[in-house]
Amino acid sequence: MEQETGEQTDAVARIQAEWRRERPDLDPSPQGIIGRLHRVAARLTDELVAVYEAHGLAEGDFDVLATLRRAGAPYERTPGDLADHTMITTGGMTKRIDRLERAGLVTRRVSETDGRGRVVALTPRGREAIDAAFTDHLANEHRLVDELSPRDAAELERILTVWLSRLEP
């Protein structure tokens, strides 16, 4: 929320004002960015998860199915590749694959190139599920980003791209 003077009056601004009062020796200005990003991220996660749940998927399930779908035909990857392309640990990946396999959305088989390795693939049902969920997911993301002007959205993407490139190895 912004007043006509441009002064921020949201929860983050109130927190910063309290710190300025209590610790005038410190500069809480980074909280204006970090605190708001954190709050936006939490709100976005809630909005995104609601779409996944409407398709009977958890956030990690969606991530695994989308990663397989993005691989292109025959829509398969090794569990290690799935872990590399998602934010799920290898231990968590095994549990997720087990659950998706029980739901009939993926299959697991021995690798043709490495007898010790496994390959996870989308089933036709899994492809239908992720295609439907992804269609709704993108519509939801458009709805959320449309809260910004096209110019602001482009500028925010540029800034976040630069910042992320400096934070990620």
Q: Does the CA dihedral 139-40-150-162 come out positive or negative?
A: negative
Question: What's the chain's average pLDDT?
Answer: 91
How high is the pLDDT of residue 71?
A: 95
Instruction: Specify if 22 maps to a domain.
Output: yes
Shared domain for 8 and 45, answered yes or no, is yes
Among 59, 108, 51, smallest CA distance to 87 is for 59
| Residue ranges making up the domain that contains 14 | 1-54
pTM of the model: 0.84
Domain match, 127 and 65 both: yes
Would residue 127 count as lying in a domain? yes
Residues 118 and 83 in one domain: yes
Domain annotation covers residue 143: no
Q: Could you give the C-alpha distances from 149 to 24, 97, 127, 155, 168, in angstroms and in order?
A: 36, 39, 34, 10, 28
93 pLDDT band, cuts 50/70/90, is confident
Same domain for 65 and 126? yes
Whether 141 is in a domain gets the answer no
63 lies in the same domain as 128: yes
Cis peptide upstream of residue 74 (ω within 30 degrees of 0): yes
Query: pLDDT class for 6, splitting at 50, 70, 90?
Result: very low
- 42 with 11, same domain: the answer is yes
The total number of structural domains in the chain stands at 2
Residue 101 forms part of a structural domain: yes
